Amino acid sequence: MTQDELKALVGRAAIEYVTPGRVIGVGTGSTVNHFIDALAAMPVPVAGAVSSSVASTERLRARGIRVLEAGEVERLPVYVDGADEIDSRGYMIKGGGAALTREKIVADLAERFVCIADASKAVDVLGRYPLPVEVIEMALPQVVRRFAAIGGTASARAGVRTDNGHPILDVRGLVITDPPALEAEINQWPGVVTVGIFARHRAQVCLLGTAEGVRTLRYSAG
Ligand code: 5RP
């Protein structure tokens, strides 16, 4: 199977975690695009979706799914999204599609984060994929220096602004052995809007697309 076929496989499989008639959280990316297509084909549809990006909003609406603002809901039963890397504890790197800030906001509303990913995203230690960080422009040089001090090489993603109008740094060279600690540390740096480590908002379940089919990984608390 191709990587895209694996993404389609897990996109369809995630429908099992969706309750018809409820509002759910929807992530961003090529894997989620398959999930949105599967959502649109549900015999009893969802009541709507809170979307994590302009791109997902457009796809949801094009398929007849109502999109709600985050402020219109207090809780979501589930948030379904992809990842750039996921480790054996459900900690993730996200933001390859530059949607990390809204992804974290919607994930924060959800009782359960279901990650959908092809097998290439599963890693022992996070960090081979460049870590995305959304930053207020004024603070870019300072944040770049802070990453250098901890062994990371940060460069601005050329020609990219997030849906919130900010630049994105991609940080190479980090070996993230303690994702919760590093996420908490980077969150303290002035000018950082969102770091693409999803540790506090890690996945509870990952549907991993493999050549043998969908592997369901569940992560215990703690
Ligand atoms: C977007 C993300 C995506 O979930 C991540 O980049 C995975 O994308 P894809 O499903 O296209 O491989 O975090 O900001």
Percentage of the chain beyond pLDDT 70 is 100
144 and 114 in a single domain? The answer is no
Bridge-based pairing of strands 131-135 and 85-86 is unpaired
Residues 119, 206, single domain; the answer is yes
| Same-domain check for residues 7 and 84 | yes
pTM of this prediction? Answer: 0.97
Q: Which residues participate in catalysis according to the annotation?
A: 103
Report which ligand 1 atom has the smallest distance to the Cα of 98: 14
User: 209 and 186, same structural domain?
Assistant: no
102-138 residue pLDDT tens? 999 999 999 999 999 999 999 999 999 999 999 999 9
15 & 105 share domain = yes
CATH number of the domain where residue 40 is located? 3.40.50.1360
Q: How remote is the CA of residue 17 from the centroid of ligand 1, in Å?
A: 19
Q: For the chain, give the number of residues.
A: 222
Please report, as a single letter, which amino acid is at residue 219: Y
107 and 22, same domain (yes or no)? yes
CB 194 within 8 A of CB 163: no
* Ligand 1 pocket mutation pick from 84, 100, 102 by most atoms within 8 angstroms of CB: 84
Domain of 188? Answer: 131-195
